[in-house]
Amino acid sequence: AAKDAWCPACGVAALAPGPQRDALLALAKQSILAKLRLPARPSGPQPPARGALLTALRRMRAQRSDAAAPPGMLRDGRVASRRSSTPRSVHLHFRFSQEVAGSTEILQATLYLFWAAPGPGAQPVTVRLLQPDPAGPNMTVASETRLEVQRPGWTTLDVRAAVRSLFGQDIPRLTVELEVPEDWGSPLLSDHSDSHWPFVVTQARARTPHRVHRR
């Protein structure tokens, strides 16, 4: 009735059930959009682009085929190239750019190693830092560290002394030998991406006041 019409909430109750329901649903939509400050309802999530989906599927398939490979099977990486080595040990070579070599003071140097899934129990690993023998072509052991690898993951080793001694050489190169138990195969992760390859973080102070931090 006209008298009820002036109450904003009274008019709706006077409608017949069908139109009343439509009016209430329209009221609900309008108040939600108004309070979310949206001019209209969003179109909903867009499916990812076909190209991105295919790339992701291809990468997943590649990972799965890698996983099918025997555990511990190494693939050549860029950071540490493998040299011919006895079945029990792996050699890693780290080269430093001339820019870092030119700097005089090594503030810190840390070797990062990511262990693949070791066998049951702790696995003993010997890490030797080798340096060229001034008297001949061979390498001498600058330091030796024994590690107990309990589980997969990153291990760090302070190699500051060895890296400091490199910068007397014409080509500063750090050689690391990893010796592992006979049946363990190779300790490093067989990961096709470089994210798990061994690397050395060095912080050096150059002659000029700014710092050089290289990975």
Cα(215)–Cα(210) distance, rounded to whole angstroms? 17
Shortest spacing between CB 79 and other proteins, in angstroms: 37
12 touching other proteins, by CB under 8 A? yes
CB of 24 to other proteins, least distance (A): 6
Distances (CA, A) of 120 to 117, 124, 127, 149, 155: 9, 12, 20, 10, 18
Give me 111's structure tokens: 């070797």
Q: Does 38 bind other proteins (CB under 8 A)?
A: yes
Nearest to 130 by CA among 106, 88, 163: 163
Q: Where are the beta strands (DSSP E) in 2-104?
A: 89-95
- Our finding on whether 54 is near other proteins (CB under 8 A) is no
Handedness of CA 30, 35, 37, 41 (dihedral sign): negative
Query: Residue 35 interacts with other proteins (CB under 8 A)?
Result: yes
Choose the binding region for other proteins from 43-51, 91-99, 106-114, 165-173 (rule: CB under 8 A): 43-51
Stretch touching other proteins by CB under 8 A, among 37-45, 165-173, 174-182, 185-193: 37-45
* CA distances, 49 to each of 17, 53, 54, 155, 186 (Å): 45, 6, 9, 39, 40
First-last CA distance in the chain: 81
Three-class SS of residue 127?
strand
Nearer to other proteins, 6 or 121 (CB): 6
User: Could you say whether residue 84 binds other proteins (CB under 8 A)?
Assistant: no
13 contributes a contact to other proteins by CB under 8 A: yes
Nearer to other proteins, 27 or 53 (CB): 27
Q: In this chain, which of 2, 16, 17, 44 binds other proteins, going by CB under 8 A?
A: 44
Taking the least distance from each CB to other proteins, the nearer of 35 and 151 is 35
- Residue 52 Cβ vs other proteins, minimum distance, rounded to whole Å: 14
Q: Identify which range of 26-34, 54-62, 100-108, 172-180 contacts other proteins by CB under 8 A.
A: 26-34
**Measured between alpha carbons, how far is 80 from 167 in angstroms, rounded to an integer?**
19
Give the residues lining the site for other proteins (CB under 8 A). Answer: 3-4, 6-10, 12-13, 24-25, 27-29, 31-32, 35-36, 38, 41-46
